[in-house]
Amino acid sequence: MATTLPPYATTGQKIWYYAFRVFCGLVFFYLIFPILIVIPLSFNAQDFFTFTPEMLRLDPAGYSLKHYRDFLGANGDYSWLQAFSNSLIIAPAATLLSVSLGTLAAIGLSQPHVPYKRQIMALLISPMIVPLIITSAGMFFFYSSVSLQGTLAGVILAHAALGIPFVIITVTATLSSFDRSLTRAAANMGADPVTTFFKVQMPLILPGVISGGLFAFITSFDEVVVVLLVGSAGQKTLPWQMFIGLREQISPTILAVATILVVISIALLTTVEMLRRRSEKLRGMSPG
């Protein structure tokens, strides 16, 4: 597979080259089309899930912000806004918990001599692997028995556990390329371990910590199965509200919410990409 077609390519090679490109183009289209399609549809002036003739004619009358106003409670129903603000409490709290504990543990795990390292890693990554229905059923039983079912604290704990693998993966990945002689140098020059951590180690692994945090954030911000079982009405999150809307009757407000969420994902993805490049540059791994 060559990036450019050499001038001496045969017809067969040319066909193959273009067919391959077209196929990849179609896959990219398949990847991105469903996500982008919700954006124009969310401005539909009517309660349909498809393009109306007015929209196809680009008639301004076919478009409106109706669904966004409904999201904001213009129809007297503030449940979307309430769910959104619940999500904005739960996700950051869970992220904080998983990032602080996860970063410490990742630093511990990347020390040269850790007994049972592989087993510990396997255990810490397992929340990503175990099917959510099993995790949430287990949490439902166990949190019920310790009075955490239906509480805010319970949902935050549960979501923090789900975010741990992402923090561990990203931070250990950053640490694996961390030059250990830097901490020794700092120690040599008389810095105590705490100073060394904050002045030397932290700035270098910060990009990894932040992107792990963003992964943990989006995990909680997206999660619906666990919150359905562990949470109660007081902790109704945005995905929960969307799930109800999808299962019961498809309310077009979902399109507006989906668009908002897509915009948030684009923002998060951009941040992570920038951080990744910055960290690679800092560690001299990539030309940037």
Span 197-226, contacts to another protein by CB under 8 A? 211, 215, 218, 221-222, 224-225
80 binds another protein (CB under 8 A): no
178 binds another protein (CB under 8 A): no
Q: Which of 275, 269, 111, 110 is nearest to 206 (CA)?
A: 275
Q: How far apart are CA 88 and CA 217, in angstroms?
A: 10
Q: How far apart are CA 94 and CA 182, in angstroms?
A: 32
Of residues 28, 46, 61, 185, which one binds another protein by CB under 8 A? Answer: 28
Contact 208, 170 (CB under 8 A): yes
Of residues 55, 90, 139, 210, which one binds another protein by CB under 8 A? Answer: 139
Contact 198, 269 (CB under 8 A): no
24 binds another protein (CB under 8 A): yes
158 binds another protein (CB under 8 A): yes
Contact window for another protein (CB under 8 A) among 63-71, 115-123, 183-191, 198-206 = 115-123
Q: Least Å distance between CB 190 and another protein?
A: 16
55 binds another protein (CB under 8 A): no
- List the structure tokens of 113: 């001599």
Buried b (16+ CB within 10 A) or exposed e, 237-248: bbbbbbbbbeee
37 binds another protein (CB under 8 A): yes
Residues 6+ apart with CB under 8 A from 244: none
Contact window for another protein (CB under 8 A) among 62-70, 160-168, 182-190, 198-206 = 160-168
Q: Least Å distance between CB 210 and another protein?
A: 13
